[in-house]
Structure 1
Amino acid sequence: MPIITVDNRKIHIQELNKGVRETVVLIHGMFSNLSIYYFNIAPILAQHYHVVMYDLKSHGMSERILDGYDLENMASDLLGLIDFLDLKKVHLVGYSFGGLIALKTALKYADRIDQLVIMEAPDPRDEETRGIIDQYSKEFLEHYVANFTDTTKVQMGKRQMEKNHRMYEFLFYETSIKADMIREKDFFTETDLTKINIPALLLYGDQSNCRPTGEWLEKELGQAKLELIPGDHNIPIQEPAQIAEAIVHFLSKSLSKSNTLTQNHG
Structure 2
Amino acid sequence: MPVIDLPNVRLHVQELNPGGEETIIMVHGMFSNLAVYYFNIAPMLAKHYRVVLFDMKGHGMSEKVQTGYDLTSMTNDLRELMDALGIEKAHLAGYSYGGLVALKMATRFPERVDKLAIIEGPDPSEQETLTIIDTYSREFLIHYIENFADTTRLLAGKRQLEKNHRMYEFLFNETSIRSDMEGEKEFFNDPAVAAIQHETLLIYGEESNCVPSGRTLASRIPNATLVLVPGDHNVPVQQPEVVGKELEKFLEFADNLNFRFNQSILDSINHSN
Residue 232 of structure 2 is matched in structure 1 by 232
Amino acid at match of 1:52: V
How many residues were matched structurally? Answer: 252
Residue 248 of structure 1 is matched in structure 2 by 248
8 Å CA contact 1:24–1:91 kept in 2: the answer is yes
Task: Give 1:132 deviation, angstroms.
Answer: 7.2
Query: 5+ unaligned residues in a row in structure 2: which ranges?
Result: 150-156, 264-273
C-alpha distance in structure 2 between counterparts of 1:122 and 1:153, whole Å: 27
Q: Which moved more, 1:3-12 or 1:40-49?
A: 3-12
8 Å CA contact 1:30–1:98 kept in 2: the answer is yes
1:1-266 equivalent positions in 2, closer than 5 A: 1-130=1-130, 145=138, 149=142, 157-252=157-252, 256=256
Q: What secondary structure is seen at the aligned counterpart in 1 of 2:123?
A: coil
TM-score in terms of structure 2 length:
0.85
C-alpha distance in structure 2 between counterparts of 1:130 and 1:233, whole Å: 12
Change (3 A) 1:256 1:9: same
8 Å CA contact 2:141–2:161 kept in 1: the answer is no
Task: Give 1:192 deviation, angstroms.
Answer: 3.2
Change (3 A) 1:146 1:20: closer
8 Å CA contact 2:140–2:237 kept in 1: the answer is no
Query: 5+ unaligned residues in a row in structure 1: which ranges?
Result: none
Change (3 A) 1:19 1:253: closer
TM-score in terms of structure 1 length:
0.87
Task: Give 1:22 deviation, angstroms.
Answer: 0.5
Task: Give 1:191 deviation, angstroms.
Answer: 3.7
C-alpha distance in structure 1 between counterparts of 2:82 and 2:229, whole Å: 29
1:13-59 per-residue CA deviation (whole Å, 9 max, x = no partner) reads 00011122210000000000000000000000000000000000010
Change (3 A) 1:34 1:132: same
C-alpha distance in structure 1 between counterparts of 2:140 and 2:239, whole Å: 17
Task: Give 1:186 deviation, angstroms.
Answer: 1.1
Q: Radius of gyration: which is bigger?
A: 2
